[in-house]
Amino acid sequence: MNAKPGLWRWRSNPLRRREDVVEAWLVLTVWMVVVLAGAVAGVLTARAAADVFAAQRAHRHPVRAVLLADAPHGATSAWPADGLVRARVRWTAPDGTPRTGDTLVDSGLRSGARVTIWRDDHGNLAPAKPTNPTEGAIEAGVFGVAAALAVAAPVYGAGALGRLWLDRRRMARWEREWDLVEPRWGHRTG
């Protein structure tokens, strides 16, 4: 019966060495850990990120605010590259009290302009607009894939180092055995 070439390490074979068996178990273990732990880490991370994005959507609310000073024109190296500049705004908290704070607004707006800002449930200024469900799902998926790779890469690397060590042991063993057998075959070459 002819076994598949990839399964030769599992068959009984007089040429099979202890290193071959260890390598077979190492490869199996590495792939099991990569697949299982990578999948678990990816799913857990994606779910956690999706939950964070959903919580942000539930607890951040758009509010109209008034710009208290002219927003600077243009962007400098100190400002974000998307045309937004930091400016002071005033808004009303849910309890009716006026609040002020700094947030990013479009450059060039005049004092008194109405802008939309994001606040949390307590009326405090939120750092940014929450992601929409589609963007949140995409970002959660990207985080999940990154987590899976972060788990899988070191395991795969450790497996590769283990196989390299086994290959060196195998080559050293073959060299020792060749040194014993070669003199029986005649004169040395080279």
What tokens appear for 36 in the block?
A: 């299982």
pLDDT at 15: 72
**If you average pLDDT over every residue of the chain, what do you get?**
85
In angstroms, rounded to a whole number, what is the distance separating the alpha carbons of residues 106 and 91? 17
Residue 166 pLDDT > 60 = yes
Q: Tokens representing 111?
A: 């004092």
Residue 5's pLDDT band (cuts 50, 70, 90)? low
In this model, does residue 77 exceed pLDDT 50? no
Answer whether residue 79 shows pLDDT above 60: no
Distances 120 to 45, 71, 129 between C-alpha atoms, Å: 24, 24, 11
* Cα angle value 80/81/85 (rounded, 5°): 45
Helix, strand or coil, per DSSP, at residue 139: helix
Chain segment 97-123, per-residue pLDDT in tens: 898 988 888 888 888 889 988 888 888
Residue 183 has pLDDT above 90, yes or no: no
DSSP result, 107-170: TTPPTT-EEEEEE-TTSPBPSSPPPPHHHHHHHHHHHHHHHHHHHHHHHHHHHHHHHHHHHHHH
Q: What is the pLDDT of residue 142?
A: 95
